Each structure stands twice: as structure tokens, then as C-alpha cells.
Chains A and B, each alone.
Chain A
Amino acid sequence: MMSNIPEIVFWLIPGLPLAAFGIVFLGLRILRLKSGFAALLSVSATAASFGLSLWTGISMLSAPGTSSLDGFNWFSSGNAITVDIGLLINPLTAIMLVVVSTVSLLVQIYSIGYMRGDNALNRYFSFISLFTFAMLFMVMSNNLLVMFMAWELVGLCSYLLIGFWFHRPKAASAAKKAFFVTRIGDFGFLAAILILFSSTGTFSIEGIHQAAASGIVSSAAITWAALGIFFGAMGKSAQFPLHTWLPDAMEGPTPVSALIHAATMVAAGVFLVARMFPLFEYSETALSTVAIVGGITALLAATIALVMWDIKKVLAYSTISQLGYMMLGIGLGGPGVALFHLFTHAFFKALLFMGAGSVNHSTGTLDMRNMGGLARYMPWTCITFVIGALSLSGIWPLAGFFSKEEILAAALEGQPVLFAIALLTVFITAFYMFRAVFTTFGGSYRGRSKPHESSAAMLLPMLVMAVLAVCAGWLNATGAIDSLLGDGTKHAWTTGIFGVFTHSLTWISLLMAAAGIFLAWAIYVKRWFSAERISSRFALPYFFFINKYWFDEIYNIIIGNKLLNKGIFSFFEKLDERIIDGAVNGIARLTSSTGSFVRRAQNGRLQTYLLFFAAGLAILVLMMVIIS
């Protein structure tokens, strides 16, 4: 199994970006590196990682298998707890490695163009390298505790990069929000790790799977652990109701949004559920929770994306929606289906974000109302963006079509209501994507500054991404990825690039997507219907969508204000004021009041002192008389 690859290769995959981070970060403070050198170092480390990941991926395709590297002992406590830093390379890991390193490499190259002229490039590239390391290490680690550490490190990088322009108050608060909201989910993940450890006695992922399979773990423990893990995944993958941080995270630089908040980190939740899928298999409750939450998220986020005017917000809600799709897929069809969508989504969504970044770079705005007609000024961006949008909408034969098709097929087999939601989401997705395409690239230019096509450093990664967004789906057209991730079985719906047309479902979903695109064309190009008329006709749903279902407001009022401010915080404030301060002040007040009472004796008149002296003497004499 995988014996043709030396072990050192696996260690180098996360090790190289870590080394790049170390050098660039040190260089930032001590060596005062030129930023060009920092970029070169980061990109070359990631490129090497990418090469090694690709090697791993290709050899995994030809000879699937699992190899576990024990690594070295991190710490042990008593005889019960030993934690090793080791690697677990299986097909799932290999796919994630390829996705993460590909997107990371292309985004870093893109960043060279996008971030040119920023005065903190060293910091930027050191964080990106750290993120790449953490993400690669997380997907490779064979141990839940180490994985949790990398998981948190990924969250930290997300925080640092959302708040990269920390002098903007919005970016700083978005970074904090992202960190806090994902921490809520992480609490569930940590609780799940502890439940698993207390019932199996190991942190090792393989050990836990074996213990679950052997039946020594009670089904209640498995259910709670699976739900905890899913709660962690909900935080990272921005699932309803913890999705509110992702749209705000768009305050970060656009390449960061492409890498972290579209392709890799937010997919970590899906990866985590896939990694721990053997647990979910033993818990019907957990699995259906995953599917239901995924379905709700997919529809909810898609409807909000319908009415957003900020191009990155549209893409952010679209990402949430697609992550919901993946969760739906994993809940109903297993990890193969979801991971395939993760795989294709990473490419086309990163491509769309790069396109949005390119547009932003040239027009200086993210508001689609100030764009329009950009197809004339930036043809390459337009072409790649349209490819990404077609892929996301699920148009044959682009990548998104195949992966979406599988999720729909799995939903059709599993749950009719969720299938209906998924199908509706296909329509909505196609509509909002082409609403964005037509308002951005169609019509005439409405902005002020003169738009221009972006530099080669930005266009080249976009072109590569566009090729991937077209071709990535063909990999699984005959079920190669499914059989790799599953137990060797191929699903009935993977019947080749052209074979898919034998299913009626294909026609239905293509029809839905085409209807969405057609409607967007009718409204935003032909203007047969006025968008304003439609939004006033459907005032109530529009009101819901435009206010994003008031999630932020509800959280602010109920959790932020009622529960935290007026409940817990004010309780502790009162505790502090009344009891702790009260005790300190009380002692002080007692001392000073005793003093002010006693000081009356010190009136400065010698005769008073003499009186006390005489009285004391008299008392002494009296006592002596009484005693004797």
C-alpha cells in the first residue's frame, strides 16, 4: 500500500509550508526580507507541497490504500494517555491534499498580482503559508487531538487573514465574529473528542473507528459524539444556524476569501464529517441531522444570495449554500458524494472569488450596481467567471454538474422533501449566479473609474482554475472517486460523461438550472420583468431575504444582549460589585468608621489624657483590691 512513496514525502507536504512560514515570519522581524522574496519562498514551498500531494493523489488513484505513520510521541500522561503526532494517509486525505495544495498554490500566485503594493506582504505570505501548513496537517493527522490543534490553527489563520486590514473597524470586528462563532462549534468538537476518549480510551482516528465497529461504545455515546463532531463542522463550514460569520468574513482580502472562505477551510467541516463517517454510520439520528441541517442551509443561504448586491456577499452565501449541499450529500449519500462536490466546488468557487477579486481590483468596488458592461473591459475575467458560474449552476459538462447530480441522485433515493429542497436550490443558484454575471459583465458600465483587465499574475491562476472547473468533474464521471472513498462500490448514477443523459434526473436538474439562467437573462438583460416590480410583488419573502432572516439581529438581541449582557455579564458584574467589591469596601469602611470613632479620644487636651490615666489607675487599684 502506497509503498512506492517514501515516508518523508508525507512529512514534507505540511512541513514545507511550515518552514516557509517560519522563514518569512522570522524574516519579517529580524532579517527584513524583501516582500518579493517572501512571496517567492511561500509560492515555491507550496508548489513543492503541491507536487508531492499530486504524487500522493495519483499513486492513490492507481493503488488505493491506507497508510498510517506513527510519527513521534508528542506527550504522554500516566499510562492512560499517549498522544502521537502521526499521519493517516487514505484516499480521503489524498483528495483533500490535492484540493488544498492546488487551490493554495493558485491563490498564492494570484495574490502576488492582487496584493501588489500592499505594505504588509511579508505578514500576508507568512499567514498564508501557516494556513496551508495547518490545513494540510489537519487533513493528514491520524489523531483527533492533533487534528483539533490543527483545526484551531486553521481558525486562527482565518482570524488573522480576515483581519489582515485590521485598521478597518469592519474587518477587525468581522475577524472577531468569525473566531467567536466558529469557537462555539469547536466546543462541540472538543466535547465529542472527550466523549470518544472516555469511551474508547484513544484519540487515534483509526482506533476510534475500530472501537465503534466492534460495538464496545454505547450507541448513545456514538450519537452524542457524532452530533458534537457535526456541531464543530457546522461552525467551520458555516452551517445554519452558525453561518453568520462567513458573509462578514468577506472583509478579508479576496484571495483569502477564495482560499479559506470558499475552497478549503470552510470545507474542513465536510472533511471532518467524512473523516469520522464510520461513527455517523452507527447513528441514524446524527446522519439525518447532518442531512436536514445541510438541506436547510442550502435553501436558506441561496435565498439570501438572491437579493445581495455585494458580489462577494453573493458568493459567500452561495458558498454557505453549497456547503449545505455537501452536508446534505454526506447525510444521504455518504462521504464519496460530498467529497466529490467539495472537490469540484473548491475549484469553481475559488475561480469565482478570483473573478470577483479581479473585478474589484479594476473597478474599486464590490457593489454590482456600480459595475456592468465589464465584459468589454476585462474579457478574460468575464470568460472565466462565466465558466465558474456555469459550473456552479450545474451545467453539463462542467465540473459542478457531475457533483451536484450525484447529490441530487442521493437525495432522490434518500428523502423526497430534501430532494425537493435541493432541486429548488439548483434553480435559485443558477438564477443568482447569472444575476451576478449579467449585472456585472452585461449592460453598460455604471461606475466612475476606468476598468482594466487584470495582470497576468492574476489571470494565469484564473485560467488554470477555469480549466479545472470544467474538467474536474470528469474524474468521477465513471465513479473513480466514489469507489476510492466508498468501499469500492460505484453508484448507479455514475455512467460516464455522456452516459448521464440516460437518467431522467439529469434532464430535470438541467432544466431547473437552465430555467434559472433564463429567468436571470429575462430580468437583467432583456428586462421583460422589472426586478423592483417582482420584489414589491413578493414583498414578504423579499423582506425576509434582504434582512437575512434577521439572524444577526436575533443573535445580538437574544444571545448578545439578553443572555450575555443582561444575564451572565450583569450577574458577574453584580457579583463583582456587591460581593467582592463589597467585602473590600466593607472592611475599609469598618476600619475608617472605627478610627473616626476612636479618634475622638485624642482631643489634644492633656487633661483628658490625665483623666483617662487617673481612671485607669483607679480601675487597676480597684481590681487589685477586689482580687486580694
Chain B
Amino acid sequence: MPGLEHYLILSALLFCIGLTGAIIKRNAVVILMCIEIMLAGVNVAMVAFSRFITPLQLGGQLFTIFIIIVAAAEVAIGLAIILALYRKRQTVDTEKTDFLKW
């Protein structure tokens, strides 16, 4: 029977994998996917806390639903931005989209 800590370790692992990917990957679409992994990690932690600490209340699980909805919206906007970027620059490589500087 896995305990809270196992879920939290899984959650932290997912978050770190996502974060690392978001930092090191060059493809904007992959970065977007990595962010989704980070959010999934957060969701795991939320559900785990809800299950182990406040089993009678569903606040944590409810919050997870919100996160999934917001993530869906975020993906929609993110993909739209990436699409626009691609149309403008013919690339989604973040190495080449460093025009937000001095």
C-alpha cells in the first residue's frame, strides 16, 4: 500500500522532469509538453494531499479539475502563440527566438 510520501516523490519527480525539459529543450512544442508534465506533477500532489490529509473534503481534487481546465486553455493559447511564431519566423526553435532582449 503506497503512502503519501510515495505520491509526493512521484509528484516531485514529474515536476522536476518537466522543469528540466522546459529549461533544456529547444522545441517550443516540447517545452509546452514539459509544462504539462509539471502541471501533472502538481496535480498528483494535490490529489495525494486531498486523499491522505482531508479525505472527507474534496477541495484538493476539485482544485485539480481547475488546473486541468486552465492547462487546457493554456495549451490552446500556447499552441496559438507557437503557431504565430512559426508563421512569423519559420521556426519554433527557442535558440533562434531570442529577440526579447536589450
Q: Tell me the complex Cα distance, A286–B16, Å.
A: 98
Interface size in chain A (residues, C-beta < 8 A):
10
CB contacts (< 8 Å) of B94 on chain A: these are 605-607
Interface centre among B24, B97, B98, B99 (most CB of A within 10 A): B98
A73 at the interface (CB under 8 A from B): no
B11 to chain A minimum Cβ distance, whole angstroms, is 15
B59 to chain A minimum Cβ distance, whole angstroms, is 24
CB contacts (< 8 Å) of A614 on chain B: these are 19, 23
Q: Tell me the complex Cα distance, A607–B22, Å.
A: 7
Q: Which residue of B lies closest to A605 (CB)?
A: B98
Q: Tell me the complex Cα distance, A599–B98, Å.
A: 14
Contact for A602 among B19, B95, B102, CB less than 8 A:
B102
Q: Tell me the complex Cα distance, A97–B101, Å.
A: 84
A611 at the interface (CB under 8 A from B): yes
Q: Tell me the complex Cα distance, A606–B102, Å.
A: 14
Contact (Cβ within 8 A) A603 B101 = yes
The proximity string for B residues 68-99 relative to A, scoring 1 for CB distances below 8 Å and 0 otherwise, is 00000000000000000000000000110111
A361 to chain B minimum Cβ distance, whole angstroms, is 76
Q: Which residue of B lies closest to A609 (CB)?
A: B100
Contact (Cβ within 8 A) A610 B22 = yes
CB contacts (< 8 Å) of B97 on chain A: these are 604-605
Contact for B98 among A603, A610, A611, CB less than 8 A:
A603
Interface members, chain A 602-626 (any B CB < 8 Å)? 602-607, 610-611, 614
Q: Tell me the complex Cα distance, A157–B70, Å.
A: 90
Contact (Cβ within 8 A) A610 B99 = no
Q: Which residue of A lies closest to B16 (CB)?
A: A614
Q: Tell me the complex Cα distance, A148–B19, Å.
A: 87
Q: Tell me the complex Cα distance, A607–B99, Å.
A: 13
Contact (Cβ within 8 A) A604 B101 = yes
Interface size in chain B (residues, C-beta < 8 A):
13
Interface centre among A599, A602, A605, A611 (most CB of B within 10 A): A605
Q: Which residue of A lies closest to B22 (CB)?
A: A610
Q: Tell me the complex Cα distance, A319–B23, Å.
A: 95
Interface centre among A602, A603, A607 (most CB of B within 10 A): A607
Interface centre among B24, B99, B100 (most CB of A within 10 A): B100
Q: Tell me the complex Cα distance, A591–B3, Å.
A: 55
The proximity string for A residues 584-604 relative to B, scoring 1 for CB distances below 8 Å and 0 otherwise, is 000000000000000100111
Interface members, chain B 16-55 (any A CB < 8 Å)? 19, 22-24, 31
CB contacts (< 8 Å) of A604 on chain B: these are 97-101
Q: Which residue of B lies closest to A595 (CB)?
A: B102
CB contacts (< 8 Å) of A606 on chain B: these are 94, 100
Q: Tell me the complex Cα distance, A610–B19, Å.
A: 9
Q: Tell me the complex Cα distance, A604–B99, Å.
A: 6
Q: Tell me the complex Cα distance, A605–B95, Å.
A: 7
Q: Which residue of A lies closest to B96 (CB)?
A: A605
B46 to chain A minimum Cβ distance, whole angstroms, is 18
Q: Tell me the complex Cα distance, A146–B3, Å.
A: 105
Q: Tell me the complex Cα distance, A605–B19, Å.
A: 15
B73 to chain A minimum Cβ distance, whole angstroms, is 19
CB contacts (< 8 Å) of A610 on chain B: these are 19, 22-23
CB contacts (< 8 Å) of B100 on chain A: these are 604, 606
CB contacts (< 8 Å) of A602 on chain B: these are 101-102
Q: Tell me the complex Cα distance, A602–B94, Å.
A: 15
Q: Tell me the complex Cα distance, A519–B81, Å.
A: 112
A607 to chain B minimum Cβ distance, whole angstroms, is 5
A599 to chain B minimum Cβ distance, whole angstroms, is 5
CB contacts (< 8 Å) of A607 on chain B: these are 22-24, 31, 94
B78 to chain A minimum Cβ distance, whole angstroms, is 12
CB contacts (< 8 Å) of B22 on chain A: these are 607, 610
Q: Tell me the complex Cα distance, A602–B98, Å.
A: 10
Interface centre among B24, B95, B102 (most CB of A within 10 A): B102
Q: Tell me the complex Cα distance, A614–B98, Å.
A: 19
Q: Tell me the complex Cα distance, A87–B102, Å.
A: 77
Q: Tell me the complex Cα distance, A611–B99, Å.
A: 18
Contact (Cβ within 8 A) A599 B19 = no
Q: Tell me the complex Cα distance, A605–B98, Å.
A: 5
CB contacts (< 8 Å) of A603 on chain B: these are 98, 101
Q: Tell me the complex Cα distance, A614–B99, Å.
A: 22
A621 to chain B minimum Cβ distance, whole angstroms, is 11
In the complex, the 9 A-B pairs of residues with the closest C-beta atoms, listed nearest first: A604-B101, A604-B98, A604-B100, A605-B98, A611-B23, A602-B101, A599-B102, A607-B23, A602-B102
Complex A-B: 11 CB contacts under 8 Å: A599-B102, A603-B98, A604-B98, A604-B101, A605-B95, A605-B97, A607-B22, A607-B23, A610-B23, A611-B23, A614-B19
- A602-B102, A605-B98 known, 15 other contacts, Cβ within 8 Å: A599-B102, A602-B101, A603-B98, A603-B101, A604-B98, A604-B99, A604-B101, A605-B94, A605-B95, A607-B23, A607-B24, A610-B19, A610-B22, A611-B23, A614-B23
